[in-house]
Amino acid sequence: MSEIEISLNPIGRDEIHKLEYCLLIGALSRQDLLEEALKNPEERLTWIDSLAVAAAAFARQKANLTISKIAEELGRTEATIRNHLTGKTKAGQLIKETYEKFVREGVKLELLYNRRYEEEKRKREEMEKEVSTLKEKLYILKEELIKIKENLEKLSKDIPQ
């Protein structure tokens, strides 16, 4: 699995998006949040949206963007962004706790994207081997068919009409 460098104080869009992704996945992988989502499946999308906005806001704040700029980029009000960043929302609290955990322990996520990518890559390689084997068999069968056809033509010429 390839390793991705995650900055806790991002500079630039790419680093912001990486931190945002890790904060969101880190929060979503919490046992208490998973249990809550299972209890209230009708609220799942609302929760995920709130967490995504909170993670995006937090990552941008760590990159020193202003609240008004964050609100503009995320299409939310400044009050909503402020509430997430100060932990007045449950989503904001979860993202803040996730960030603090990253500060203490480092970013220790098994990135789902990388795991899935590696699995899909392995499956593709297996399928490519299988296709290659089948192509070889097809080539051999084609050659045999040509020989059979030639023999049939030769035999048909030898038979008197």
* 4 has pLDDT over 70: no
Q: What is the mean pLDDT of residues 5-16?
A: 84
Q: What is the pTM of this model?
A: 0.61
Crossing angle between the packed helical segments 13-28 and 44-62, to the nearest 10 degrees: 140
Residue 99 three-state SS: helix
Give the tens place of pLDDT for each residue, 76-87: 999 999 999 999
Confidence of residue 1 (pLDDT cuts 50, 70, 90): very low
For the chain, what are the domain ranges?
13-110, 118-161
Q: For residue 37, what pLDDT is reported?
A: 64
Task: For residues 1-7, give the mean pLDDT.
Answer: 60
